[in-house]
Amino acid sequence: MADEQFNNLVADYGRKVLHIAYGVLGDHQAALDVHQEVFLAIWKRWGSFDSQVNWDGYLYRTTIRKALDYARKQRKEKHLDPEFEKQIPSDDNPQSRARAGELVSLLRRHIRNLPAQQAQAFVLARIEGLGYPQIAAAMGCTEPTARVHLHRALKQLAHEMRDVL
């Protein structure tokens, strides 16, 4: 029974976890690694979860935290920032595509450097498109707290990217 419930959880939320991880990391293989880490961690603790778990909130928090941890670990191992985005929005102008890739890459690096709660609020709001009630529920905090985290993230990102915007 537990195996079937776990398999249903993966089937129901697997794509969402992968999408969130990709939104943070911008790398499909890295997102797959985080996807696996998230569900492996859940499987190891499967017996400790009760039937009232808010899986949406739990998986948002866990995925973003693990994606940020993954990015920090990769950065430490490589000692280099990632190169420009390989997959960028299609545009007929190569210079526009290169600039867009550069900006996306830079934004992702700055997101990874935010405090975890700010990064989580930013990803949920701007990448996932959630409103404050959903962000608060996913983060396990109040709406005003979610607003503060997002405001601080936006302020920090604007400061970090002021020279390129």
User: In the numeric block, which tokens belong to residue 71?
Assistant: 């990015």
What CA–CA distance (Å, rounded) separates 44 from 155?
A: 38
* Residue 12's pLDDT band (cuts 50, 70, 90): very high
Rounded CA-CA distance 19/17 in Å is 5
Most confident listed range (28-42, 105-119, 121-135) = 28-42
Contact criterion met (CB below 8 Å) for 61 and 138: yes
What is the Cα–Cα distance from 88 to 11, expressed in whole angstroms? Answer: 28
Domains and CATH numbers, the chain: 1-80 (1.10.1740.10)
**How many whole angstroms separate alpha carbon 147 and alpha carbon 101?**
28
pLDDT level of residue 54 (50, 70, 90 thresholds): confident
pLDDT class of 40 with cuts at 50, 70, 90: very high
N-term to C-term CA, the chain:
53
Tell which residue, 5, 17, 110, has the closest CA to residue 51. Answer: 5
pTM for the complete prediction?
0.57
3-state secondary structure of 95: helix
